[in-house]
Amino acid sequence: MPVAFLSTWFINEVLIPKYLLTRRFFRFIVGLLYTFIFSLWVETMIVLALLALVWNYSTSGIDPSNFESRFLITGLYFIVFAGVAIRQFQRVLNEQRLKEEQQGLKTKIDLKLKESELNLLKAQINPHFLFNSLNCVYGLSLEKSDNTPEVIMHLSNILDYTLYGCNTNFVPLNKELELTTNYAAIQKYRYGNAVNFNMEQNTQKIDGIMISPLLLLPLVENAFKYCTRISDKVSTINVKIKADEDFSFAIENPYSEVSNITNGGIGLENLRKRLELIYPDRHSLIIEKKNNLFKVQLIISKIWQQ
């Protein structure tokens, strides 16, 4: 038993980690052979020592298997192989558990990083939105418009939602549409009949849909930003919303080539990053410029699955 335990320990703690796991197979095989030969030699010496010192060179009354080499080898190596198998099975289980713990930790870290990045992107949206809205209020104040108090109230309600009403990962879609409608109303107060805003939606299917907050507002902001640069012409912003298995938010607005419109600036760039984090491989953002129309379509696949 001592020889078997020492041999098992040597194979498990020296040969396997140092040679087998490092893919030094030749040295592992040589070490294994030397271990087997040496352990068998030690076992034989122990039997001879017992025969001389304990049994006084007499084999009477002694089980003949004690002197049978095949029984000595079988008994010794059965214990060794069993001990090695159990230890390696434990090693595999421990490595699997460690790998699962590391994977779980990595997942938590990735989620924390994504959450931090999303919070940063949301923090960029509020000042951007506030800047555009305050421009509207400033324009009305210059005109000494009677609608200024009502616009400020609209702005107050919108800020209340952006600061406190959308702090969860997902919000009802109708709340997001209400936000965009209120923002459009503020812009209408500023530009009057120069801009028309039309929204077509399937209200029956929209009920119950949850969406990440502040995804639609940058699209509406972008539309007003560029269509109002066209002078002496009524601009129309058209929004079409569809919701079945997928969710589609399409918006188009006229633009002038002299406005040097790009692909949306900070608003759409922010939106792209958030979509990659929230809906990876489940979204598409299609941007087209054709016949003086700037079209953006946001599609989120399987919107009902969060």
Tokens 């079409």 map to which residue? 240
Burial of 9 (0-12, 13-18, 19+ CB in 10 A): middle
Q: Are 128 and 114 in contact (CB under 8 A)?
A: no
- Helix H or strand E encompassing 172: strand 171-172
pLDDT in tens, 97-114: 888 887 777 777 666 656
> How many Å is the Cα radius of gyration of the chain?
38
Residue 284: per-residue pLDDT: 92
Question: Which long-range contacts link 263-269 to residues 24+ away (Cβ below 8 Å)?
Answer: 263/287, 264/218, 264/222, 264/296, 265/222, 266/124, 266/128, 267/128, 267/218, 267/219, 267/221, 267/222, 268/218, 268/219, 268/222, 268/296
pLDDT for 67:
58
Q: Give the mean pLDDT of the chain.
A: 78
Give the model's confidence band at 89: pLDDT under 50 very low, under 70 low, under 90 confident, else very high. confident
Structural domains of the chain, with CATH: 2-103 (no CATH), 112-300 (3.30.565.10)
The continuous run of DSSP H or E covering 235 comes out as: strand 235-243
Q: Report, as an integer, the average pLDDT of 40-51.
A: 76
Q: What is the mean pLDDT of residues 230-255?
A: 84
Summarised one tens digit per residue, pLDDT across range 192-227 is: 788 888 988 875 667 778 888 888 888 888 888 777
Q: Please, which pLDDT band fits residue 296 given cuts at 50, 70 and 90?
A: very high
CA dist 158 and 291 (Å) reads 34
Q: Which two tokens stand for residue 89?
A: 């099975």
Instruction: Categorize the per-residue pLDDT at 69 as very low, low, confident or very high, splitting at 50, 70 and 90.
Output: low
User: What span, in angstroms and rounded, lies between the C-alpha atoms of 206 and 180?
Assistant: 15
| Residue pair 15/25 in contact by the 8 Å Cβ criterion | no
Cα(167)–Cα(301) distance, integer angstroms: 23
Assigned token pair, 74: 């079988």
